[in-house]
Amino acid sequence: MTRNIGPVDKAVRIALGLVLLSLTLVLDGDLRWIGLIGVVPLLTALMGNCPLYSVLGLSTCPVAGRT
């Protein structure tokens, strides 16, 4: 799997994921599931690969084709 997420993109995804996950603690009732969307940016940051970037042919990784 080719990396297509650079270090700045990774940091932003981790921060965004943590903020979204914290919404599960703040929101009540039926809206709590919105916070679980934070799992997606966290997983893509940890894998170093964004499937949407792959489909669109994008990369924020400074070294192209890095594995």
Q: Report if residue 28 sits inside a domain.
A: yes
Q: What is the pLDDT of residue 45?
A: 96
Q: What is the pLDDT of residue 64?
A: 56
Total number of domains constituting the chain:
1
Q: Report if residue 1 sits inside a domain.
A: no
Residue of 54, 42, 33, 35 lying closest to 12 (CA atoms): 42
d(CA 2, CA 25): 35
Q: What is the pLDDT of residues 16-61, one digit of tens each?
A: 999 999 999 988 888 888 889 999 999 999 999 999 999 999 999 8
d(CA 19, CA 47): 19
Higher pLDDT, 7 or 27: 7
Q: What is the pLDDT of residue 34?
A: 86
The whole domain housing 38 covers: 7-53
Q: What is the pLDDT of residue 43?
A: 96
Is the pLDDT score of 63 beyond 80?
no
d(CA 24, CA 50): 24
